Amino acid sequence: MCFFACAFMEAHDSLQLQLSVGRKFSIDVKALDLLPLKVIALSVKFVSREKLWAQCFGDAYVHWELVRTVPFSKNVLGGCAEWLGLLAFCHWDDLGKVEHEIVSGYPPLAVLRRNLRESNIDTGDKDAWTMACRVLVLTLVQGLSCLPALEMLTCAYFKRNTRGGCMEFMAKQAESLFTPEQYEATLGLVLERCKPDKARLEQTLALATAAMEAKKIGLAQSRMQVMKGRPRLRDRVASVLKTDERKAQVDVLLETWESYSGFCYKHQFPPTLSERIKSRLYFLASQTRWDWRQHVHKVLPTGGHLLEKVRAHPITQPDLPVIIRVLESLGMDGAPPFQQMTAFRGACFQSFPVVHVQRMTLSQVVL
């Protein structure tokens, strides 16, 4: 009895591998139902992959220079288990409706189906064309051992040892020679008529994402400890960031300073420093699009080494209430406007007639 079926890749592992391949070669991975077909198009031999890609996916982007660096003895996905995991998402249930067209116009697929029948490894039911298309893809993937892959596929379906039938089939296939144009046309039909199981793909991705999030929470939980050194309980992990006190605890334990409480604790501000000054320092440290470090001394002129410490630790995820509080406290009463504001006002009023500008009141300008 053959036990190749145990080597099949799990559905979530197969999908994660396909997503990794898609990101590596700059493929759009949002369309999950097209991802297996694109991986197939990048891995076949005997044909021009660029022409096949253009025929099936139009101008969809792929990093061809990177694809061409893959050695001929390898493909973009992997070995037998990886390809069987990918093909498990692909079905060709309605291909029997055009069987007469396949016999007359696509000899590589028609001859392959006939060889499967003669080798006694054809299913003969509604899955017969699905089996034939999967076998065709396995035989055309570059760098893949066809015989072990075929044995793994047929043993899993028939639940028996199919080594003899697979060897007979491979011998018959070796006697069947076709031109690259015939292979290209047949692969175009196979990719066009393929019906990937989109619902299963989306469900598998959701389960894999949930499992990954659970691992992240478990990792974060293992790093979080209470002040006495005991592990934090699972039921407290979900609400650990809901209060300022717990935010400060997490910042201290993880050596971060993202929250306002953790920011103040990290820098050890003196008790005489007002909340207004500390909030403005926190506001400056949270800026990302301009050089805020040169203005820190204006907020706290006598800071000394404290200012250097603030400059060295920017904030990437600030507390929104603190930012809003600082913005609401800003004012320009009695101070001249910035030169940029004056230029902006002049640019705004250039399109108004002079007679209207002279009669405008302050309320009209505000509106």
Determine the pLDDT at residue 352: 73
Q: Which residues pair with 225 in a beta bridge?
A: 231
- The interaxial angle of helices 128-140 and 80-87, nearest 10 deg, is 140
Q: How far apart, in whole angstroms, are the C-alpha atoms of residue 191 and residue 179?
A: 19
At residue 2, the pLDDT reads 40
What parts of the chain have a pLDDT lower than 70? 1-8, 220-257, 332-334, 356-367
Give the pLDDT score at 249. Answer: 55
DSSP reduced 3-state for 216: helix
Please answer whether residues 23 and 96 qualify as being in contact, where contact means their C-beta atoms are separated by less than 8 angstroms.
no
- Reduced to 3 states (helix: H, G, I; strand: E, B; else coil), residue 31 is coil
Whether the CB-CB separation of 44 and 140 falls below 8 Å is answered with yes
Domain boundaries, given as residue ranges, for the chain = 4-200
Tell me the C-alpha distance between 366 and 345, whole Å: 12
Distance CA 35, CA 28 (A): 8
Q: Which of 82, 90, 78 is nearest to 8 (CA)?
A: 82
Q: Show the tokens assigned to 158.
A: 């028939």
Q: Which two tokens stand for residue 62?
A: 């792929």
Classify 58 as helix, strand or coil. coil
- Tell me: the pLDDT tens digits for 339-352? 777 787 777 777 77
d(CA 240, CA 246): 6
pTM of this structure: 0.59
pLDDT the model gives residue 156:
87
Which residue, among 19, 147, 141, has the nearest Cα to 89 in the 3D structure? Answer: 19
Collapsing DSSP states into helix, strand and coil, what is residue 225? Answer: strand
Residue partners of 70: CB distance under 8 A and separation at least 6: 76
Q: Report percent pLDDT > 70 for the chain.
A: 82
Dihedral sign for Cα atoms in the order 271, 274, 277, 279: positive
| Residue 8: DSSP 8-state | P
Tokens linked to 115: 């060889």
The pLDDT assigned to 5 comes to 39
DSSP string, 240-309: TTSSHHHHHHHHHHTT---SHHHHHHHHT--TTS-HHHHHHHHHHHT--SS--GGGHHHH-TT-THHHHH
